[in-house]
Amino acid sequence: MSGSFSWNLLADLKDMWSLAFMVNAFRAGTIAAVLAGPVGWFMVIRRQNFAGHTLAVVGFPGAAGAIWAGVSIAYGYFAFCLLGALAIAILPGSGGGSDGSAGRGDDADASAITGTVQAFVLATGMAFLAWYGGFLDSATSLLFGSFLGITTSQVTVLAAVAVMSVAGLGLIGRALLFASIDPYVARARGLPTRWLGFGFLVLLAVTVAEVGQITGALLVFALLVLPAATAQRLTARPGLGVAVSVVLAVVTVWTALFVGYYSPYPIGFWLTSVAFAGYVAAHAGGHVRDRLATRTPRRPAPAVAR
Amino acid sequence: MTRPQQSSTPGTTGQRRAALTAGPDELAGAAVAPTPRERDRSTLVASVDPGSASRVLVEVRAARAVVGGRTIWAGVDATICAGEFAAVLGPNGVGKSTLLKAILGLLPLAEGRVRVAGRAAGRANHEIGYLPQRRSIDASLRVRGLDVVRLGVDGHRWGVPVPGRRNRDAWARVRQLVDLVGAGGYAGRPIGQLSGGEQQRLLIAQALARRPGLLLLDEPLDSLDLPNQAGVAALIARIAREEDVAVIMVAHDVNPILSYLDQVIYLGPGGAVCGTPHEVITSQTLSRLYRIPIEVLTTSDGRLVVVGQPEAPAVHADRHGAGADGGGW
């Protein structure tokens, strides 16, 4: 996509938003980002990146199957990701982290199996697209993202699911943090850590399904991991970290959509590049800060901050 | 074995505190000379004022535990009151952690009974602060020590913290706890970056968050260097006295905590023995329990030292996989 760029950014935005599909792209992207911020933050804390990636890959044949069956790709994403979450929860060692282990994917055998299944699932998606006919274009946009053709009804579905998911995360947030950091103590205190883990896996599946519709199956981490990891690099406060993660995800989406509209490169490229640039900057900044902190002796007993 | 239920009057607490605030020499001496508590027992068995009687937090009677069809210990009797510091000692794989599980009500006994704060085990877990055995906190965990302590205050609640009175109260409690364990200097840093001793202090603060009557600690000195072992041991002893908390601590090595202990529960292949350090920590008893020769020596400054127990650091390394005591639950 490339509109004609002027240096008057406001006029550019106006120009972009005169197109209904761009408005939908901004809406859908913002919704996905707001959901990906907190869910990604928890995923990074729980070290369930492997589970997140598996879910994203599983979403691809879902979307391809939906195209083949002639229904909205949203349904394909949601259905397959939720089934994937169920499978991860049931199969041991596939990243579900049923208790405490939080799915570090460190069981070599299990992770090899999961890797094998990922490859097979990707191939299945390609088969769906081949049967459907329009092979190359759809494959690229499903794997690497597209902001064309997001319909208003799709935005409505995304918004409804996101509102429910954020509410669900709000309900379990504090207990989930406890269960993620200190599963044994949390369980001794009576928290249902197993159910919390499963509940989070469902939220993760829903989030991956939403984000995948914007970024494509392979670039889900641009919104799911990078803003959250950057936020954790910037602050060790949970509340602030989640907020920063959301802001970074939204900024990433908006910047990528804006630049993507005026450039010949696909949206997925810009999403990933912007998010990665933020991560690198936060890391570099953190290093500089740590160097300065070690040079000046730490003053004892700083006040307890809220 | 059983022993008389002791009572404690304000006078005895004062005595104990005096012993604590005294220098290390006097402190250590307490382990050899009859401790103030032991003296109380002989003179104050008949309680003058029933209202001031120490609260019994844990009562274990003729307990036998079976894991996987195998009796791992039997004949355990113990009574631990508020303000007492008890240690569960014994060789690897003997089921020390299992005793904590039985007290938490996570493992039903094959025989006998465990009561916590006058109720069946598992029914009074809100009275228990529990610190499980752990390897270490992931160094990359970027959550502040303060937030980890905060989880102890209200981490079991649903929802998320919202600004307001309850939130302020929770942070005030966190600040108290951090001061109590002396972690003010580093509690604001990501917990993954702290040393083992610093992490352990913060986790103890977390376990104390709900003002438990009973603190269960599973090898809190494990993987700490010697100065930190001494520091954390002194902290735990101080908390037991000052906060009037009953402490039961699983330990490998008795030496860092010996001078603070009111009671010892020794589990061994040769049986179980419970009592005051003076009664239990003798060459004869330990040799019988471990079935190898063990000597208890008294140093020139009056401290007891256990020599020859099969708990060399080399043995620690393979402990995590070791059956009933492995802590994998």
B184-208: pLDDT as tens digits = 999 999 999 999 999 999 999 999 9
Domain with B318 in it: what CATH number? Answer: 3.40.50.300
Which tokens is B210 given?
A: 């709900």
Asked if residue B74 is part of any domain, the answer here is yes
Cβ atoms within 10 Å, residue B18: 11
What is the count of structural domains for chain B? Answer: 1
Gap from A11 CA to chain B (nearest CA, Å): 40
Task: Verify whether the Cβ–Cβ distance B141 to A302 is below 8 Å.
Answer: no
Looking up tokens 């250590």, which residue turns up? B28
**B4 inside domain:** no
CB contact under 8 A, A233 and B130: no
Q: What is the Cα–Cα distance from A29 to A275, expressed in whole angstroms?
A: 14
Task: Output A22 or B311, whichever has higher pLDDT.
Answer: A22
The ipTM value here is 0.84
- Which residue in chain B is spatially nearest to A304 when comparing CA positions? B175
Say if A301 falls within a structural domain. no
Task: Count CB pairs under 8 A between chains A and B.
Answer: 98
pLDDT exceeding 90 applies to what percent of chain B?
A: 48
Per CB-CB distance under 8 Å, the chain A contacts of B329 are 184
| Overall average pLDDT of the B215-222 stretch | 92
**pTM of the predicted model, to two decimals?**
0.81
Rounded Cα distance, A92 and A98, in Å: 8
Per-residue pLDDT, A296: 53
Q: What is the pLDDT of residues B100-110, one digit of tens each?
A: 999 998 889 99
- Is A189 within 8 Å of chain B by CB? yes
Return the closest-CA partner of residue A132 out of A77, A47, A75, A73.
Answer: A73
Pairing of strands B295-298, B304-307: antiparallel
**Closest chain A residue to B217 measured between Cα atoms?**
A185
Whether B199 contacts chain A with CB within 8 A: no
- Whether the pLDDT of residue B31 is over 70: the answer is no
Percent of chain B whose predicted confidence (pLDDT) is above 70: 76
Q: How far apart are CA B35 and CA B24, in angstroms?
A: 15
Tell me which residues of chain A have a pLDDT lower than 70: 1-3, 92-110, 134-136, 294-306
Beta carbons of B40 and B12 less than 8 angstroms apart: yes
Residues in chain A closer than 8 A to B187 (CB atoms): 304
Kindly state whether residue A306 falls inside one of the protein's structural domains: no
Question: Within an 8 Å CB–CB cutoff, is residue B328 touching chain A?
Answer: no
Q: Is residue A78 part of a domain?
A: yes
Q: Does the beta-carbon distance from B141 to A181 stay under 8 Å?
A: yes
Asked if the structure places residue B56 within a domain, the reply is: yes
> Is position A305 within any domain?
no
Chain A residues whose CB is inside 8 A of the B144 CB are 236-237
Whether the per-residue pLDDT at B39 is higher than 90: the answer is no
Structure tokens at B285: 């008893």
Residue A3 maps to a domain: no
Q: In terms of pLDDT, which residue wins out, A94 or B111?
A: B111
pLDDT of residue B165: 94
A287 burial (CB, 10 Å; 0-12 / 13-18 / 19+) is exposed
Which of B143, B178, B184 lies nearest to residue A236, judging by beta carbons?
Answer: B143
**In contact, B183 and B202? CB cutoff 8 Å:** yes
Residue A86, in any domain of the structure: yes
Asked, for residue A4, whether it belongs to a domain, the answer is no
B23 pLDDT tier (thresholds 50, 70, 90): very low
CATH of the domain at A18: 1.10.3470.10
What pLDDT does A302 receive? Answer: 46
Report the residue of chain A nearest B143, measured CA to CA: A236
Name the residue range of residue B106's domain. 10-325
Is the CB of residue A289 less than 8 Å from the CB of residue A29?
no
Smallest CA–CA distance, residue B257 to chain A, in Å, is 24
B220-231 average pLDDT score: 89
The reported pLDDT for the residue numbered B123 is 87
Which residue range is the domain that position A275 belongs to?
A: 9-295
Q: Among A288-297, B44-53, B115-124, B167-176, which is the least confidently predicted range?
A: B44-53
Closest Cα of chain A to B53: distance in Å?
29
Closest Cα in chain B to A177: B155
Which residue shows structure tokens 């995800």? A249
Q: Which amino acid is at A201?
A: L
**Dihedral class, residue B291 (left if φ above 0, else alpha if ψ from -120 to 50, else beta):** left
pLDDT-derived band at B32 (thresholds 50, 70, 90) equals very low
Torsion of CA A62, A63, A66, A71, to 10 degrees: 130
Q: What is the 3-state secondary structure (H, E, C) of chain B?
A: CCCCCCCCCHHHHHHHHHHHHCCHHHHHHCCCCCCHHHHHHHHCCCCCCHHHCCCEEEEEEEEEEEECCEEEEEEEEEEEECCCEEEEECCCCCCHHHHHHHHHCCCCCCEEEEEECCEECCCCHHHEEEECCCCCCCCCCCCEHHHHHHHHHHCCCCCCCCCCHHHHHHHHHHHHHHHHCCCCCCCCCEHHHCCHHHHHHHHHHHHCCCCCCEEEEECCCCCCCHHHHHHHHHHHHHHHHHCCCEEEEECCCCCCCHHHCCEEEEEECCEEEEECHHHHCCHHHHHHHHCCCCEEEECCCCCEEEECCCCCHHHHCCHHHCHHHCCCC
Determine which of A1-5, B76-80, B289-293 has the lowest per-residue pLDDT on average. Answer: A1-5
Q: What is the DSSP letter of A219?
A: G
Residue B138 token pair: 């992931």
A293 touches B: beta carbon within 8 Å: no
Check A306 against B185: CB less than 8 A apart.
Answer: no
| Partner-chain contact B132 A306, CB within 8 Å | no
Q: Is A298 on the interface with B (CB under 8 A)?
A: yes
> In terms of CA atoms, which chain A residue is nearest residue B106?
A188
- Report if residue B267 sits inside a domain: yes
pLDDT digits (tens, 9 = 90+) for B255-283: 889 889 999 998 877 778 889 988 888 88
Q: Are A285 and A266 in contact (CB under 8 A)?
A: no
Closest by CA to B242, choosing from B88, B59, B21, B79, is B21
How many domains are there within chain A? 1
The Cα A113–Cα B289 span in angstroms is 48
The residue of chain B with its CA nearest to that of A178 is: B155
The helix (H) or strand (E) run that includes residue A43 is helix A20-46
Q: Which residues contact A120 (CB under 8 A, 6 or more apart)?
A: none
What tokens does A138 get?
Answer: 């759809």
